Amino acid sequence: MGNSDSKLHFRKAVIQLTTKTQPVEASEDVFWDQFWTDVNLTAQDIFALVPAAEIRAVREESPSNLATLCYKAVERLVLNADSGCVCERDRQAVLSCTRLLTRILPYIFEDPDWRGFFWSTVPKVGKSVDENDGECMRPLAESLLTAISDLLFCPDFTVESHSRTSADGPSDIQSIDSCEFIWEAGVGFAQTPPLNHTHDTNRAELLKLLLTCFSEEMYQSPSDTHTLNPWVSFFCSRDNRHALPLFTSLLNVVCAYDPVGYGVPYNHLMFSDQRGVLAELALQTLIVSLEQELVDNSNTSPNTNTDNCSADYNRNTTAEGCQAPRGENLFVNYLSRIHREEDFNFILRGISRLLNNPLLQTYLPHSCKKIEFHQELLVLFWKLCDLNKKFLFYVLKSSDVLDILVPILFYLNDARANQSRVGLVHIGVFILLLLSGERNFGVRLNKPYIVRVPMDISVFAGTHADLLIVVFHKIITSGHQRLQPLYDCLLTIIVNVSPYLKSLSMVAANKLLHLLEVFSSQWFLFCSPVAHHLVFFLLEVFNNIIQYQFDGNCNLVYGIIRKRNLFHQLANLPTDVSSIQKALQKKSRSGSTHSAVFMEMSNPYSTACSEGPYKTTPIQTGTLNASLKAMPRIDKLTETSQVSEDGTTLLLQQSDAAHSQSDTSSEIQVKDAEPTSGEEDQKSEKEDCDGSQKRVSSSSDWAPTPDWVQSWKSKLPLQTIMRLLQVLVPQVEKICIDKGLTDESEILKFLQHGTLVGLLPVPHPILIRKYQANEGTALWFRTYMWGIIYLRNVDPPVWYDTDVKLFEIQRI
């Protein structure tokens, strides 16, 4: 009954606000207190009682009243933060203000005329008149962010009260050292605070408001997001005295969270998991806070002197010694300086445990809680590897990287045909591209793949490299057509790891040869100015394995011998006009490039057997989907490095790279056929939701010519393969005739003990294409990240049906 009265009184206050035609003065506390004093309503109640239409009506018809409401709500938060929320009434008022601002802010952000409202200076709230601190005016946004930060470390509200703090009383609240109140043990904090569901709930409410503040970026078009988010900049600056404990609290809560707990079946159905809600919001807040301008990458050097800039995170980290520059994002600074192995182990184990959680198999159906924030985890892992190179090297130092690889491949395979999950495939491929730039990743892939994960792929006995190739083949041959821009990325990853793959299974070898068969068909080669690049990638894979790992790869060598006609056809590819036209006519008859070429049934090596009855996640009708920015081309995503004999890598200059690649790689420059970077930038503004770069249509007036075909045909790196065939084919034919062999196992045994030492051309240098930061991927990540946060926060629906500009919301 009391709750019904509270709803009634609150609704009356909202109606009064929307119907008043005259401004209500800020001094009329009796009126304004109706919105938060003695109001005991949930966030869902407030969202229902404050309709979107009424917020917009007040914004348009009584803007001064809406401005005053925001000012008074922030003032209440500041006052209670300063006092320490000593009583339950104050705590409830804080929660009511928090929920109300969470409801209102998106409608302020969506109106360009209101966008600067929170950054306009107002009389500093929360200070008595007799204080003379020289800061009588301050932006409302700074007051709000400071209050939220203080409240996130408020004893008995969001953290446990220490006995000393309770004795000091509320008057000393501003002098509390928040580094003693970090929420969870982990990086830089050894003590494990007691679990308190009420505190977790209050933290989650404040983090949701914090995310809402940061979300102003959603209401700016992509072309306007090149500057830093001012909310994030202030929150992560030295002006926020809680920046260090906030960073460690968010990171530790995420990495320490275990959704399985003690493993009691169905425990998530019997008990509410407030820590899970907090972990998800902490993760979203953390990845948004790690946003930075592209130029900041140069400031976050992996060579930072971490002996002086210790990652122990004591409270003096930013106060003395290694001070961050005034305008630097401290969250990025702290993340880049973590260096202790125990911290790396804690982070990696936590992320790995959570990424593998949806893959868990139990005898009792649905008995184990499955997390749904794996996309945010992948973004965090990306940022960790990108911003902290020591963490990247730690991940690759042992086979622990495979605990990240397997769930990523699971997500890629599961999402490959689902149009609403195109972004998930992109982020997974980006991470693998980043990892593949390091030699250790290729070496780790040779570990046998034993623990089977439920995926609808061909059964094979082999290594993690086989798993990677089989999944990539599945994505290409049966994935959604909007994944076509990723083909060159997928093949680049295989190229990067190919010099280190000691033994491919027959299944994986045949998958690679099937891709070559598909991509080397004449009509496919002639349908696009860049289609031939895929053939160059595959030939480079074969060359790397033959030159550097011939001894253990008899399966691939046997497959090459069986499919030798493919290589002969490439070497004799016709370049005359009539042949080109005949091939293009075949394309026009076949219709869709994707459906005609990438049919699994056309693969003679595909098998109906899979690892179980697992099926990919189906698309649900009415699913909301956030659009994505266009992904840059592979030559914009990577820079080429040459691996020297001692294992070190040397970055090649553009001219050197182009020269080296003329014989061995796919980076063929056809400048008259490809759009320039400027054209690409202009075109990217008009790309559709999945980020697919319609490369064929980008040059609608383009047509293949004999000169164009000859320009890249003459550079096909076929010498090594042709030499192999010249040497081995006669030997294999002779042994088959002499011994009457019909069993391929005997041929494989012969190839296994064979050698080509001294018979092959001089080994070419190993070229690795490493990911390089660029503005295109930075914008892609920003759009993808906010799209996830928009779609995941549906209870209550914070941003639903507001006029976001950063991306489009589509119903599939």
Q: DSSP of 216-274, one letter per residue?
A: GGGGS-GGG-SSPPHHHHHHTSTT-TTHHHHHHHHHHHHHH--SSTT--TTHHHHS--H
> Which pLDDT belongs to residue 367?
54
Beta-strand runs (E) in 283-375: none
Cβ burial, residue 647 (10 Å; 0-12/13-18/19+): exposed
Q: What angle do CA 211, 139, 114 make, to 5 degrees?
A: 70
DSSP assignments along 619-681, one per residue: PPTT-EEE-BPPPPPHHHHEEEEEE-TTS-EEEPPHHHHHHHHHHH-S----TTTSPPHHHHH
State the pLDDT at residue 79.
93
* Edge-to-edge order in the sheet of strand 766-771: 649-651, 638-643, 766-771
What is the model's pLDDT at position 310?
35
**What is the distance between the terminal CA atoms of the chain, rounded to a whole angstrom?**
42
Two tokens, residue 83: 């006092």
What is this structure's pTM? 0.86
Residue in this structure with the two tokens 């995310």, named with its chain if needed: 211
Look up residue 329 and give its two tokens.
Answer: 């994002």
Cα–Cα nearest to 660, from 646, 647, 642, 643: 642
Q: Which pLDDT belongs to residue 271?
A: 59
Tell me, what's the pLDDT at 698?
A: 43
Taking a C-beta distance cutoff of 8 angstroms, is the pair 228, 353 a contact?
no
Question: 458: which strand partners?
Answer: 610
Among the listed residues 767, 715, 722, the one whose alpha carbon sits nearest the alpha carbon of residue 535: 715
HEC string of 756-801 equals CCCCCCCCCCEEEEEECCCHHHHHHHHHHHHHHHHHHCECCECCCC
The whole-angstrom separation of Cα 748 and Cα 557 is: 9
**Eight-class DSSP state of 446:** T
Q: How far apart are CA 108 and CA 117, in angstroms?
A: 8
Helix H or strand E segment including 811: strand 809-811
Q: How far apart are CA 788 and CA 809, in angstroms?
A: 11
Q: What pLDDT, on the 0 to 100 scale, is given for residue 122?
A: 72
In angstroms, the CA 103 to CA 793 distance is: 12
Rg, the chain, Cα only: 30
Tokens at 581, concatenated: 């036209």
Q: How far apart are CA 106 and CA 50, in angstroms?
A: 13
Nearest CA among 282, 292, 301, 303 for reference residue 332:
292
Strand intervals (E) in 509-634: 624-626
State how far the Cα of 720 lies from the Cα of 539, in Å rounded to an integer. 10
The per-residue pLDDT for 364 is: 55
CA-CA-CA-CA torsion for 187, 192, 195, 198, nearest 10 degrees? -60
pLDDT score for 390: 95
Cα torsion through 751, 756, 757, 758, rounded to 10: 160
List the one residue out of 224, 233, 226, 85 whose CA is nearest residue 159. Answer: 85
**φ and ψ of 439, to 5 deg:** -55, -40
**What are the structure tokens assigned to 488, written together?**
């060159």
Could you give the CA distance from residue 60 to residue 114 in angstroms, rounded to a whole number?
10
Strand partners, 767: 642
pLDDT at 719: 93
Query: Among positive and negative, which fits the CA dihedral 714, 717, 723, 726?
Result: negative
How far CA 344 is from CA of 256, 313, 339, 394, in Å, comes to: 13, 14, 7, 7
Name the token pair of 445: 């892939």
Q: Is 646 exposed, middle or buried (0-12, 13-18, 19+ CB in 10 A)?
A: exposed
Give the relative orientation of helices 374-387 and 341-356 as an angle to the nearest 10 degrees: 150
- pLDDT, averaged per 10 consecutive residues of the chain (812 residues), comes to 74 88 86 87 92 93 92 94 89 95 96 90 58 66 96 93 54 75 92 91 96 94 77 94 96 92 53 84 96 50 36 36 60 95 96 89 61 93 94 93 95 89 93 94 94 81 94 93 91 96 94 95 89 94 93 91 93 89 72 48 41 52 74 81 72 52 40 37 40 43 87 93 90 80 78 76 86 84 93 91 89 71
Task: Give the Cα separation of 232 and 284 in Å (integer).
Answer: 13
For 457, the enclosing helix (H) or strand (E) is: none
- pLDDT at site 321: 34
Alpha carbon 724 to its chain's center: 41
DSSP 8-state code for residue 443: H
- CA–CA dist 67, 248 (Å, integer): 34
Contacts of 345 (CB under 8 A, 6+ apart): none
DSSP strand pairing (137-139 vs 121-123): antiparallel
121-123 vs 809-811, strand pairing mode: unpaired
Q: Could you tell me the two tokens for 545? A: 């394995």
